Structure 1
């Protein structure tokens, strides 16, 4: 017995020694620990006013594309033409499907593949929270801000389409998502033209108009247009990752720039569950809504299995060195502690989305009467597919959850596989890192998985190097304002974003 216990103790000591050795020798990426002064930014009032004017135009996309109010999109096109004459005069520019915009600044070497910067002009609605009237400036077609009375959500400091400039910020729907990036690209291209800088390769800008509702008429058709022309891009840059302010990722004492090298797939299924209808005074043993509840419970309890993909492993390798010892121990010893690591990551909504195909129950419809049993109940479940899971895997998962019930399953919206993963050992990615160092030199940069959908997905037909990143440093509160109330971007972020894109345009081939 004594020998057995000694053997067990020896094994424990050996395992602990291996864990510690692997933790202290694991090749986490080294980051510069000295604090570098951030580049001083210069306020440009004219650029701010041009951006503010663009926010005032309510280019809202929601619901059915065929019933869009396209008038604001026409106004927006005219506003850009008036605000950026140098871009229109010095580029090849044209429209795709009436409202999609493409600009091409010609480079000196036609043999080089061009680079492409994306944005979109549409924004989500400002919300229908409790509202009150305030005197605000609203946009008029003649581009003059005139006093008017407009409805303003209680939680907005300024009207959603006021474009107000106050408190060192620019307020309004689309300030971050995504007119800030669109206008910074137009400013950057203007600065290139003013400085008479001729890039070696062609530079393209492409702006969609329906990204918030799937991008089928905007980005999809622009990408197909590029494909038909035989274009291949050395890099495609779109929204996705951000610079998360220190504390934004638990356990990391640094600003972290997360660069989306891939995005999740998408499947929304409307599940109709059949049952007996009738009057609530004589209910059946099992109602349609009760059956639907069982299926929904199955979907939430038995979710897709978590996994650490190569991209997420790369993410840990980049930031793990800045994390507490317990985190480093688990990351560097996945041979033994992977289940513990996955368990901890699954407890947080943000990190859970990085390690599994997520399940979200979003809509439900049954009877319209309090005493009426509906013979059919329907609900919608949305899955965001992790690379490593396929659309077929999700369909099989739904089939398993609905087994034993009379159901109809209909896929709605745009079902798509997870995107390809773009490489990090190419110039296209390295330029992002260099650009970040220009504006936020102390940020830790890392590849990352974009969990939301972007227009970038459509451009896989014309490039293998697609990156999703917006160079703005934001707090959790600012991040929560995207698609919510009181959206704004700081003037500092906007000025630095202009500098960042200009840096990439000027330095891609230097």
Structure 2
């Protein structure tokens, strides 16, 4: 007995030693914070006002497949022409499908593949909040003027389309998502032209107009136009990652810049469940809504399996060195502790989305009467596909969990596969790192998986290097304002974003 205990103890000692050795020798990336604050913003009131006035034009995209009011988009196009005459005079610029805007600044070496920067001019609605009294200027697309009106959304400090500059911020719908990036790109190209510095390769800007409703008429058609022209881009840069302010990422005492090297896929399924209808006074043993409840419970209880993909492994390898010892232990010893690591990751909403195809029940419809049993109940479940899972996998998953019930499954919205994963050992990615260090030298830079959909994936047909990153440093509450109320972009972030893109344009081939 004693010998057996000693044997077990010896094995445990060896196991602990192996775990510790692997943890301390694991090749976590060394993230040494550089000294200084980086490039400091230079006051530029004219650039701020051009951006502010652009917010005043309510280029709202709603509905499906881009069926919305285009009058503000016409005004926005004209506003860009008035605001950036140098860009229009010194680039080849044209429209795709009337509202998609493309600018090409020619480089000195046509043999080099061009680079492409993306943005979109459309914004989501400001919401249906109550109205309170407050005088602001709001653009009205019906009369094309900026009259004073005494209405502002109750949940906004300033009218969502007033473009107010206050408290060191530019307020309004689209300030972050994503007119800030659009105007910073125009300012950067404008500055490049002013400097008379000719880049070696062509630089393209492409602005969609229906990204918020799927990009079917904008980005998809612009990308198809490029493909038909035989264009191949050395890099494509779009939104999708941010610099998370120190304290935003649990366990890491640094700013963290997450660069989207891939994005999740999308599938929304409307599931109609059939049963017996009738009067609630004589209900069947199992109603349609009861059957729907069983299926919904299955969907939440039996979700698709979590997995650490190569991209997320690289993410942990990059930030793991700055994490607490327990996290480093699990990351470094996945040969033994992967189940424990996955268990911890799936307990948090954010990290759960990094390691699995997520399941979200979003809508439900049944009877319209309190005493009426509907013979059919429908609900919507939304899946965000992890790279490595396919649309076919999700369809089979749904079929398995609805087995035994009389159902109809209909895919709605824009079903799409997860994107490809762009490499990090490229000049295109390394320049992102250099650009971030230029404005925020203390930030940890890491590849990441973008959760939401962007226009970027549409451009995989013209480039293998597609990166999603907006160079602004924000905290958790600022991130929550995107698609919500009180959206704003700090003046410091905006001016640093202009400098970042100008740096990218000037230094790509240096």
Equivalent residues, number: 509
What do residues 392-422 of structure 1 show as CA deviations (whole Å, max 9, x unaligned)? Answer: 1101110111010000001111111111000
Residue in structure 1 matched with residue 17 of structure 2 by the alignment: 17
Residue in structure 1 matched with residue 150 of structure 2 by the alignment: 149
Supply the distance in 2 between the matched residues of 1:97 and 1:244 (Cα, whole angstroms).
36
Residue 227 (structure 2) pairs with residue 234 (structure 1): no
Supply the distance in 2 between the matched residues of 1:30 and 1:66 (Cα, whole angstroms).
46
Query: Which deviates more, 374-383 or 29-38?
Result: 29-38
Residue in structure 2 matched with residue 260 of structure 1 by the alignment: 260
In the alignment, structure 2 segments of 5+ residues that lack a partner are none
The CA deviation at 1:34 is 5.2
The CA deviation at 1:36 is 2.6
Residue in structure 2 matched with residue 130 of structure 1 by the alignment: 130
The CA deviation at 1:64 is 2.7
**What secondary structure does 2:318 align onto?**
helix
What do residues 236-272 of structure 1 show as CA deviations (whole Å, max 9, x unaligned)? Answer: 0000000000111100000000000000011110100
> Residues 92-491 of structure 1: matches in 2 within 5 Å?
92-139=92-139, 145-150=146-151, 152-491=152-491
Supply the distance in 2 between the matched residues of 1:35 and 1:245 (Cα, whole angstroms).
17
**What secondary structure does 1:89 align onto?**
helix
Q: Is the 8 A contact 1:79 1:143 kept in 2?
A: no
The CA deviation at 1:323 is 0.5
Q: Is the 8 A contact 1:256 1:446 kept in 2?
A: yes
Q: Is the 8 A contact 2:244 2:475 kept in 1?
A: yes
Q: Is the 8 A contact 2:66 2:217 kept in 1?
A: no
Supply the distance in 2 between the matched residues of 1:35 and 1:190 (Cα, whole angstroms).
31
The CA deviation at 1:137 is 1.0
The CA deviation at 1:39 is 1.9
Residue in structure 2 matched with residue 57 of structure 1 by the alignment: 57
The CA deviation at 1:145 is 4.2
Supply the distance in 2 between the matched residues of 1:363 and 1:500 (Cα, whole angstroms).
41
Q: Is the 8 A contact 2:272 2:376 kept in 1?
A: yes
Q: Is the 8 A contact 2:34 2:441 kept in 1?
A: no
Cα distance 1:376–1:81, how it changes in 2: closer, same or farther (>3 A)? same
**TM-score, normalising length from structure 1?**
0.98
Q: Is the 8 A contact 2:319 2:446 kept in 1?
A: yes
Supply the distance in 2 between the matched residues of 1:117 and 1:43 (Cα, whole angstroms).
25
Supply the distance in 2 between the matched residues of 1:160 and 1:192 (Cα, whole angstroms).
31
**TM-score, normalising length from structure 2?**
0.98
Supply the distance in 2 between the matched residues of 1:219 and 1:364 (Cα, whole angstroms).
31
**What secondary structure does 1:241 align onto?**
coil
The CA deviation at 1:140 is 5.6
**What secondary structure does 2:421 align onto?**
coil
What do residues 96-130 of structure 1 show as CA deviations (whole Å, max 9, x unaligned)? Answer: 00100000000000000000000000000111123
CA RMSD of aligned residues (A): 1.1
